[in-house]
Structures are given as C-alpha cells and as structure tokens.
Amino acid sequence: MRTKNNILAIALGSLLSLASFSAIGEAKIGVANLQRAILQSESGKKLVEQIKSAFSEQEEVLKERQKEITEKLEILKKDTELMSDQEFQSLLGEINLKRGELSQLFQQVRRAEVEQTERVIQS
C-alpha cells in the first residue's frame, strides 16, 4: 500500500508539472529591438494574431489532453485504496503514456509557432 501512495504522490507531482504547460505557452521570446519593433507594428501584430488563431485548434487539443490526464489522476487519487495492483499499474501506465503524448504535442505546437513567427520577422 505504501508503494501505491508513493507512486500516487509522484503522479500528482506530474500533474503540477502539466499545469506549467500553460505558463510556458505564455512565455515571451526575447528578441532584438528590431524584431520587437517588427512584431509590434500593425502588420506584425496582424500576422502574429493570424499565427495564434491558426494554432487555436491545437491549443484546444492540448487543453483537452491535459484535462483527460487530470481526470485520470483524480480517479487514481480517489480510488487507489479500491484498486488492485494491476488496475493501479494499468491506469498509471495510461497516465504516463498520455503525459508523454501531451509533452510531444506541446513541443511540436510551440516549435511550429516559433518557426512561423520567425518567418514573419525575416520577411
């Protein structure tokens, strides 16, 4: 039982790290004054908004996947005592798999957004 509680604590800690995805997504990229000026110009702002709207669907997918993981962690937290070791391990494995997928998707979306923003700056 102690092992389940330790694993549950680790899983819940992972949930907190997932919450940081939102914060990371809001992080600003430090750019030179010229790049900042380009992005803050009217045409630059419009292009940045177009980029953001182009990725809004992917952002929703990220939020939905994060919500699924959170729900599964809540089930794990609530029902740990009632689960067999096999059920516990199975759910924990599913959570870890989904976390990995979420992390990869997050990185892909961010990389694509940065690349498009860099294209705007270069053009």
pLDDT at site 96 = 92
Quick one: pLDDT band at residue 86, thresholds 50, 70, 90? very high
Contacts of 122 (CB under 8 A, 6+ apart): none
Instruction: Specify the DSSP class assigned to residue 31.
Output: -
31-54 as b/e, with b when 16 or more CB fall inside 10 Å? Answer: eeeebeebbeeeebeebbeebeee
Q: How do residues 23-61 score in pLDDT, each as one tens digit? A: 444 444 444 566 666 667 777 777 778 877 878 888 898
CB 73 within 8 A of CB 15: yes
Mean pLDDT over residues 3-8, rounded? 61
Domain coordinates in residue numbering, the chain: 2-122
- The C-alpha atoms of residue 51 and residue 69 are separated, in whole angstroms, by 27
Nearest Cα residue to 111 out of 18, 45, 29, 53: 29
Q: What is the pTM of this model?
A: 0.61
- The predicted-structure confidence for 89-111, as pLDDT tens digits, reads as follows 999 999 999 999 999 989 998 89
User: Greatest CA separation found in the chain?
Assistant: 60
